[in-house]
């Protein structure tokens, strides 16, 4: 059974998340402060952490940073009342895998959790993906183009993996959001931002551009 750790100081919300996730077949632990969340997230068997941004004892941001500094790669979904793309970028920069603004529908949270768990499961099953001169190790979040090796954030790696599993196929922003972020209703400029990150890391120093913008349709990775 998949184990989810919920770290949320709003008791009513924590209880609601516990009951909802439990009713969908998850094993659920809940705690209400950052320090205990940090301690529990390090224990073996935790498959996913749902982590509030603002917590007593230790903030969710600090919990995230500490876990990643210790090479603990459990997927983390940040919950926050903060708003705006900049805040999402800040949250992901701490090492979180996804970000969900309050208030949210439980169905959306469930879809995000499923997407993170599915992504982790897929990554464990592949040693390397190769398209032309581009290679990706999804588990280590390391890409290589020619002789150029680059490290990727979790979101960048997830987006690149999606493109590499669909080479030569144009994907709309809604499709990308649904498959990489788990929610097609999110702000579409997130896709533009992260495609830009990949272009800077994997296209900027090469004559042949892999990432194509298809006007009015979306993006594709050229299958060269």
pLDDT digits (tens, 9 = 90+) for 75-120: 999 998 766 554 566 666 778 888 888 888 999 998 888 888 876 5
Distance of CA 53 to the CA centre of its chain: 16
Same domain, 36 and 116: yes
Return the pLDDT at 63.
93
- How far apart (Å, rounded) are the C-alpha atoms in residues 219 and 213? 5
Mean pLDDT of 45-62: 91
Distance of CA 131 to the CA centre of its chain: 22
Give the domain-ending residue among 98, 123, 148.
Answer: 123
Return the pLDDT at 187.
73
Give the domain-ending residue among 123, 151, 175.
Answer: 123
Return the pLDDT at 7.
96
Return the pLDDT at 81.
78
Which tops the pLDDT comparison, 29 or 83?
29
Same domain, 104 and 69: yes
Of 13-17, 72-76, 153-157, least confident by mean pLDDT is 153-157
- How far apart (Å, rounded) are the C-alpha atoms in residues 222 and 224? 6
Return the pLDDT at 217.
93
**Tokens coding 199:** 């272009």
Return the pLDDT at 183.
66
| Domain, as residue range, for 202 | 127-221
What are the residues whose beta carbons fall under 8 Å from the beta carbon of 13, sequence distance 6 or more? none
Which tops the pLDDT comparison, 216 or 223?
216
- How far apart (Å, rounded) are the C-alpha atoms in residues 102 and 177? 19
* Total number of domains in the chain: 2
Return the pLDDT at 86.
47
Same domain, 50 and 152: no
End-to-end CA distance of the chain: 41
Give yes or no for residue 222 having a pLDDT over 60.
Answer: yes
Of 37-46, 78-87, 90-99, 124-133, least confident by mean pLDDT is 78-87
Return the pLDDT at 139.
67
Decide the pairing of beta strands 142-145 and 148-151. antiparallel
Same domain, 132 and 114: no
User: In whole numbers, what is the pLDDT of the chain averaged over residues?
Assistant: 85
Give the domain-ending residue among 123, 144, 166.
Answer: 123
Same domain, 49 and 107: yes
Report, in angstroms and rounded to the nearest whole number, the Rg of the chain calculated over CA atoms. Answer: 18
Percent of the chain whose predicted confidence (pLDDT) is above 70: 88
């Amino acid at each position: 059974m998949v184990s989810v750790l919920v770290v949320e100081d709003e008791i009513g919300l924590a209880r609601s998340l516990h009951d909802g996730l439990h009713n969908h077949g998850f094993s659920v632990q809940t705690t209400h402060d950052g320090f205990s969340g940090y301690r529990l997230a390090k224990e073996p068997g935790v498959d996913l952490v749902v982590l509030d941004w603002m917590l007593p004892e230790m903030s969710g941001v600090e919990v995230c940073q500490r876990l990643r500094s210790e090479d603990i790669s459990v997927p983390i979904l940040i919950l926050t009342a903060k708003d705006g793309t900049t805040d999402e970028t800040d949250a992901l920069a701490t090492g979180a895998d996804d970000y969900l603004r309050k208030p949210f529908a439980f169905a959306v949270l469930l879809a995000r959790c499923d997407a993170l768990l599915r992504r982790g499961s897929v990554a464990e099953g592949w040693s390397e993906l190769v398209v032309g001169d581009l290679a990706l190790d999804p588990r280590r979040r390391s890409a290589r183009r020619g002789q150029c090796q680059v490290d990727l954030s979790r979101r960048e790696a997830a987006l690149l993996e999606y493109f590499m599993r669909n080479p030569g196929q144009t994907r709309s922003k809604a499709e990308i959001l649904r498959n990489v972020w788990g929610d097609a209703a999110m702000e579409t400029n997130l896709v533009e931002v992260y495609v830009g990150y990949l272009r800077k890391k994997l296209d900027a120093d090469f004559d042949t551009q892999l990432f194509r913008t298809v006007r009015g349709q979306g993006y594709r990775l050229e299958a060269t």
